[in-house]
Amino acid sequence: MSHAPGTHRRRRRAPRPVPLALAGALVATAAVALPHLTPEASAATTLRGYADGRGVRIGAAVGDTPLTSDASYTAVLDREFNSVTAENAMKWDAVEPSRGSFNWAAADRLVAHATSHNQGVRGHTLAWYAQLPSWLKNGNFSATELNTILKSHIDTEVGRYKGKVYAWDMINEAFNEDGSMRSSLWQDKLGTGYIANALRWAYTADPAARLYINDYNIEADNAKSDALYALAQQLLVQGVPLHGIGFQSHFEVGKLPTSMKANLKRFSDLGLEVSITELDIRIPLPASSAELTQQSTDYKSASENCLGVPRCAGITLWGVSDKYSWVPGTFNGYGAALPYNESYAAKPAYTGLSNGLDPNA
Ligand code: XIL
């Protein structure tokens, strides 16, 4: 969505007849560009309608299972979201299960789905400590060989989706909470220089993709985000192609950091895009109605904390409905973290998020 903010809003307020040939092009490229055909009350008031109107992304992490087996899921996904992230399908273990042998089936399915529903794709992720195939984890490679392996994986994957992935979470979870570099295969063998190298290789493979460093617990101004800020500054000074910071934003209800907006702004002030990349807001189960109301407030605040900052590119949720969320399996006793419940009914959180995206709410 490279439209200047306001373009769509203007068009929405004063619809003009569109020549027939042009109308076809609009249908193909932008869901929001249909106000002359679609009453305000329908498409424009979906999450993606509001996001399109502001020229930003509203995304969801998508698993291959619901994508291929649950029509209620895809109906919501395609109505409400203009961006998707592969929840697992583009990770190392999925893509390169044995050395030099690639499995693109699930990743290709998602990209094809996105293309046919006018959704952008965020790629996730190329240098992370987790979800590595065992040949790689246990291979005991020399630094030189590991460097070659990482470069070839990045060249191949970013190259395959050139022009189809608008942003990549290149580097994922590279820091400890105290701001030191987290131990990982990459960090331990290659040193922090792997970050600049990975970004440069990806830039060569697809110069148009926005390249991100992504992490959690960096939403507040704290030791971890300070360390990331220092690294980002340094990479930019060195001319490394770093374009954005992804704030995962796996929150607990009622605990949004108060410094979030100011923290995102300091990264934006470096000239970087900022995006919320994995938003979910978990609740101790069973969720009370007070907690569901608080969660709605939190969704609104989180989205406003990004959209209120220059260079906020968008907000991605880590899932669509509570039915497939990673939360219950990861945070013992927690769940109900997404705006749709297990039966695809919109929760109060949907209204909160929608109001956060609607410039007139
Ligand atoms: C999670 C997926 O949701 C799970 O299905 C998988 O088992 C583990 O990974 N931060 C990230 C994501 O960057 O890749 C993680 O996704 C959630 C935390």
Whose CA is closest to atom 13 on ligand 1?
172
Whose CA is closest to atom 16 on ligand 1?
87
The separation between CA 279 and the C-alpha centre of its own chain, rounded to angstroms, equals 8
Encoded tokens for 209: 């993709």
Tell me the one-letter amino acid at 320. V
- The domain made up of 20-357 has a fold known as TIM Barrel (3.20.20)
- In whole angstroms, what is the distance from residue 354 CA to residue 74 CA? 19
**Residue 15 in this model has a pLDDT that exceeds 80:** no
- In whole angstroms, what is the distance from residue 179 CA to residue 228 CA? 8
**Ligand 1 within 6 A of CB of 278:** yes
Instruction: Give pLDDT, residue 43.
Output: 66
**Ligand 1 within 6 A of CB of 172:** yes
Residue of 65, 88, 317, 331 to mutate, ligand 1, most atoms within 8 A of C-beta: 88
Query: Residue 14: which residues within 8 A CB-CB, separation 6 or more?
Result: none
Give the gyration radius of the chain's Cα atoms: 20
Q: How many A from CA of 28 to the centre of ligand 1?
A: 32
Q: Is the pTM of this model over 0.95?
A: no
Lowest mean pLDDT of 3-17, 66-80, 92-106, 153-167, name the range. 3-17
How confident is the model over 61-105, as pLDDT tens digits?
Answer: 999 999 999 999 999 999 999 999 999 999 999 999 999 999 999
Query: Residue 71: which residues within 8 A CB-CB, separation 6 or more?
Result: none
173 is catalytic: yes
* Catalytic choice (87, 96, 273, 278): 278
Q: How many A from CA of 325 to the centre of ligand 1?
A: 10
Q: How many A from CA of 6 to the centre of ligand 1?
A: 35
Instruction: Give pLDDT, residue 112.
Output: 98
Instruction: Give pLDDT, residue 2.
Output: 37
**Residue 1 in this model has a pLDDT that exceeds 70:** no
**Residue 25 in this model has a pLDDT that exceeds 80:** no
**Residue 134 in this model has a pLDDT that exceeds 60:** yes
Instruction: Of 106, 90, 62, 110, give the one whose Cα is nearest residue 154.
Output: 90
* Catalytic choice (173, 219, 273, 291): 173
How confident is the model over 223-279, as pLDDT tens digits?
Answer: 999 999 999 999 999 999 999 999 999 999 999 999 999 999 999 999 999 999 999
Query: Which SS3 state, helix, strand or coil, does residue 139 take?
Result: coil
